[in-house]
């Protein structure tokens, strides 16, 4: 069991990025960026010396924890409480030190000194895991009668959910010796992710000509932007150049993917799970049927996605619709650069339905340097929210002034405020927000921001633009993440059957799924089967992306509640959801808001909203 409970919450990978103009990056180097646009990590540690002190302290506490408590957890409730308090103290220090240095690394991944310090944190974390690996097995072996007393003892009330989770996974906890062995080799589990990250960073892409006839260097950051260029020649050039470059490294990417999949399947087998999906979902009490019903419901909705592609084809006035066409807006409104200060105002205004208190936390985030805004060459791509229990949340952006960047800001602040509420309301051990619920908070913000913009729209053109944006949100978050989830499921099953995972196999599987999702309106591009090589989350985590889709559906339902009920729904959202943290399992937390994700109903209802949005778009188009 890992001690670090603070999760990195990222924007869904490779969603469209509303552009069409020349990319504007205000600052060429990090030192040129004003302090107001950079987070302040001194809020966690004032000096590296203080950080190093906690690194050493965590290692010492881990040794002391094992020496003092191993073999005695069934002694008494009082003794168990002391053990859990020591475990919590150790975990908080480890988490704080680990988060701090990795946040710093994310702003400059080329800094060799910070790389070395991050490696030091990895070593510390591995040592802590090694000296605490016995803990869960020993808790799991406590006699049922004794555990029952512990779960009902008033002194252990705040640890009840934590202990119940271990009891829930009891049959999958190994012996002390095996857990210690796995802890020793745990640093290897991140190898595939690290290799993928380095490989992706080191690949150099060719130059293309942009909309102004200027030669520009294609890279991981600007590729998605050029996919929304209004100039089809630019889109095609970027698309073909990017995937042709990836194809040169297809065997390397496939080897990394194969290693990642094998590690998941081996771990699941060792821990006596039926599948890698079950191993990934079980710790959060998520039934495998939730994953399966998501795919089933999405498959039922594919005719509507095909319909959307047909509409897009007509609106773009192309004889053939290619994958490099589908991210471009159907009109060019709002494609101009949006200053960050304006984006802040848009987010605060759009999230007003969540109340004054929520708004005050947003302002605190902006005023107290929670957000690292602008991209620089060595900064980690994408966006995320992260933080320790003993720090405020931190949000990383790569802001380029696009409409999608405004949505990304709202998304990551959804994570940040959720974390802020959870840490305020819950003890450390219950403060972590599982991804399954965390992504609901973030996509809810995107939904409310869209609703705010649509209500303000006065012209037909504005409404068409915004309706297309909403349809794109559905496509990239519900359909696209389900598509990734289906691919992930298929390749894990392929490996479990003893079949080879190689580049040609991966391309065949991915290409077939892509054809199924997008239908006959899309031309069969030879490049798209390589897209699996640029989906970071397939290398970072196991069975993570499906949660974007389920959360998107849940957030649609919550937004509807807020629209229908107003303040009562907001109060319920705050008290029953945003403050819940990890005090219960994700399915139960959402049920407390009136949303049952153990059924297909939320997905089916989201599909209906997608259909109604399509209907509205077609109605407006028919008036032209």
The DSSP string of 553-604 is HHHHHHHHHHHHHSHHHHHHIIIIIITTTTSS-HHHHHHTTT--TTSSHHHH
Task: Give me the architecture of the 44-190 domain, per CATH.
Answer: Up-down Bundle (1.20)
Nearest one of 124, 325, 99, 115 to 201, comparing CA atoms: 115
Q: What's residue 22's pLDDT?
A: 45
Per the DSSP assignment, residues forming a β-bridge with 9 are: 385
In whole angstroms, give the CA distance from residue 239 to residue 236.
5
- 130: pLDDT strictly greater than 60: yes
Q: What is the mean pLDDT of residues 19-32?
A: 65
Contacts for 195-204: CB closer than 8 Å, 24+ residues apart = 195/256, 196/253, 196/256, 196/536, 196/539, 196/540, 197/536, 197/539, 199/249, 199/252, 199/253, 199/256, 200/534, 200/536, 201/109, 203/245, 203/246, 203/249, 204/245
In whole angstroms, give the CA distance from residue 248 to residue 551.
36
In whole angstroms, give the CA distance from residue 533 to residue 506.
9
Query: In this predicted model, what pLDDT tens digit does every residue of 47-61 receive, in sequence order?
Result: 999 999 999 999 999
Higher pLDDT, 312 or 200: 312
Q: What is the mean pLDDT of residues 509-520?
A: 96
Q: Is the dihedral of CA 587, 588, 593, 594 positive or negative?
A: positive
- 333: pLDDT strictly greater than 70: no
- 1: pLDDT strictly greater than 50: no
In whole angstroms, give the CA distance from residue 385 to residue 6.
10
Query: In this predicted model, what pLDDT tens digit does every residue of 104-128 receive, in sequence order?
Result: 999 999 899 999 999 999 999 999 9
Q: Is the dihedral of CA 85, 90, 91, 97 positive or negative?
A: positive
Phi (first) and psi of residue 70, to 5 degrees: -65, 130
Q: What's residue 599's pLDDT?
A: 94
Q: Is the dihedral of CA 198, 200, 206, 209 positive or negative?
A: negative
Give the per-residue SS3 of 9-36: EECCCCCCCCCCCCCCCCCCCHHHCCHH
Domains of the chain, residue spans: 44-190
* Active site annotation includes 138: no
Give the least confident one: 129-133, 239-243, 294-298, 534-538.
Answer: 534-538
Per the DSSP assignment, residues forming a β-bridge with 396 are: 372, 384
Nearest one of 567, 551, 542, 597 to 277, comparing CA atoms: 542
Cβ atoms 10, 386 nearer than 8 A: no
Q: How confident is the model at residue 18 (pLDDT cuts 50, 70, 90)?
A: very low
Give the least confident one: 78-82, 89-93, 110-114, 169-173.
Answer: 169-173
What percentage of the chain has pLDDT greater than the value 90?
A: 78
Cβ atoms 154, 89 nearer than 8 A: no
Nearest one of 308, 289, 353 to 562, comparing CA atoms: 353
In whole angstroms, give the CA distance from residue 332 to residue 21.
10
Query: In this predicted model, what pLDDT tens digit does every residue of 343-399 receive, in sequence order?
Result: 999 999 999 999 999 999 999 999 999 999 998 888 988 899 999 999 999 999 999
In whole angstroms, give the CA distance from residue 16 to residue 327.
6
Name the CA radius of gyration of the chain, rounded.
Answer: 24
To the nearest 5 percent, what fractions of the chain are helix, strand and coil?
65, 5, 30
Query: How many Å is the maximal CA-CA distance in the chain?
Result: 77
Give the least confident one: 53-57, 243-247, 283-287, 407-411.
Answer: 283-287
Nearest one of 127, 108, 106, 115 to 55, comparing CA atoms: 127
Cβ atoms 490, 513 nearer than 8 A: yes
Other beta carbons within 10 Å of 304: 19
Instruction: Tell me the pLDDT of the chain averaged across its residues.
Output: 91
- 279: pLDDT strictly greater than 50: yes
DSSP string across 30-89: GGGS-GGGS--GGGT-SSHHHHHHHHHHHHHHHHHHHHHHTT-TTS-HHHHHHHHHHHHH
Q: How confident is the model at residue 175 (pLDDT cuts 50, 70, 90)?
A: confident
Per the DSSP assignment, residues forming a β-bridge with 372 are: 396
Query: In this predicted model, what pLDDT tens digit does every residue of 572-606 receive, in sequence order?
Result: 999 999 999 999 999 999 999 999 999 999 999 99
In whole angstroms, give the CA distance from residue 136 to residue 31.
45
Catalytic residue among 179, 228, 412, 486: 412
In whole angstroms, give the CA distance from residue 267 to residue 542.
11
In whole angstroms, give the CA distance from residue 339 to residue 94.
38
Phi (first) and psi of residue 460, to 5 degrees: -65, -40
In whole angstroms, give the CA distance from residue 399 to residue 26.
10
- 335: pLDDT strictly greater than 70: no
| Burial grade of 203 (CB within 10 A; 0-12, 13-18, 19 or more) | middle
Nearest one of 89, 171, 102 to 128, comparing CA atoms: 89
Higher pLDDT, 14 or 499: 499
Query: 3-state DSSP call for residue 469?
Result: helix
pTM higher than 0.95 for the full model? no
């Amino acid at each position: 069991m890992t001690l670090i409970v603070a999760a990195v919450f990222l924007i869904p990978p490779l969603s469209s990025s509303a552009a069409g103009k020349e990319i504007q990056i205000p600052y060429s180097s990090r030192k040129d960026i004003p302090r107001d646009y950079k987070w302040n990590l001194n809020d966690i540690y004032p000096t590296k010396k203080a950080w190093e002190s906690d690194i050493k302290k965590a290692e010492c506490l881990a040794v002391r924890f094992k020496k003092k408590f191993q073999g005695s957890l069934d002694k008494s409730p009082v003794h168990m409480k002391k053990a859990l308090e020591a475990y919590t103290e150790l975990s908080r220090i480890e988490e704080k030190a680990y988060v701090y240095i990795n946040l710093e690394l994310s702003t400059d991944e080329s800094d060799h000194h910070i790389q070395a310090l991050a490696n030091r944190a990895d070593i510390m974390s591995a040592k802590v895991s090694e000296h605490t690996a016995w803990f869960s097995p020993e808790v799991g072996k406590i006699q049922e009668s004794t555990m029952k007393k512990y779960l009902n003892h008033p002194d252990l009330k705040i640890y009840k959910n934590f202990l119940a989770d271990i009891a829930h996974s009891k049959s999958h906890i190994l012996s002390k010796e095996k857990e210690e062995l796995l802890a020793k080799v745990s640093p290897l589990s991140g190898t595939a992710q690290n290799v993928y990250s380095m490989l992706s960073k080191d690949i150099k892409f060719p130059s293309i000509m942009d909309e102004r006839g200027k030669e520009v260097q294609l890279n991981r950051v600007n590729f998605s932007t050029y996919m929304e260029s209004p100039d089809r020649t630019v889109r095609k050039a970027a698309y073909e150049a990017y995937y042709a470059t990836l194809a040169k490294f297809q065997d390397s990417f496939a080897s990394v993917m194969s290693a990642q999949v094998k590690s998941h399947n081996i771990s699941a087998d060792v821990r006596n799970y039926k599948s890698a999906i079950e191993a990934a979902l079980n710790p959060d009490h998520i039934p495998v049927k939730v994953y399966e019903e998501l795919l089933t419901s999405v498959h039922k909705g594919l005719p509507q996605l095909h319909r959307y592609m047909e509409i897009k084809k007509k609106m773009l006035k192309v004889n053939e619709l290619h994958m490099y066409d589908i991210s471009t807006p159907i009109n060019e409104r709002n494609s101009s650069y949006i200053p960050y200060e304006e984006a802040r105002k848009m987010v605060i205004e759009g999230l007003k339905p969540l109340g004054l208190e929520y708004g005050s936390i947003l302002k605190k985030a902006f005023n107290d340097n929670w957000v690292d805004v602008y991209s620089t060459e060595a900064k980690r791509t994408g966006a995320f929210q992260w933080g320790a229990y003993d720090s405020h949340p931190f949000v990383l952006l790569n802001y380029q002034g696009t409409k999608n960047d405004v949505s990304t800001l709202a998304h990551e602040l959804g994570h940040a405020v959720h974390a802020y509420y959870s840490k305020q309301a819950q003890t450390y051990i219950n403060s972590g927000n599982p991804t399954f619920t965390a992504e609901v908070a973030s996509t809810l913000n995107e939904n409310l921001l869209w609703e705010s913009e649509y209500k303000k729209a006065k012209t037909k053109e504005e409404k068409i633009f915004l309706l297309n944006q909403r349809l794109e949100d559905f496509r990239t978050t519900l359909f696209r993440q389900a598509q990734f989830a289906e691919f992930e499921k298929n390749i894990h099953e392929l490996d479990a059957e003893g079949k080879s995972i190689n580049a040609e196999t991966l391309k065949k599987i991915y290409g077939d799924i892509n054809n199924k999702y997008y239908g006959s309106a899309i031309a069969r591009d030879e490049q798209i089967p390589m897209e699996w090589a640029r989906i970071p989350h397939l290398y970072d985590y196991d069975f993570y992306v499906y949660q974007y889709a389920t959360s998107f559906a849940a957030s649609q339902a919550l937004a509807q509640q807020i629209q229908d009920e107003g303040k009562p729904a907001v109060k319920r959202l705050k008290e029953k959801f945003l403050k819940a943290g990890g005090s219960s399992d994700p399915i139960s937390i959402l049920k407390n808001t009136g949303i049952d994700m153990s059924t297909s109903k939320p997905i089916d209802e989201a599909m209906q909203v997608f259909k109604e949005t399509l209907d509205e778009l077609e109605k407006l188009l028919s008036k032209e």
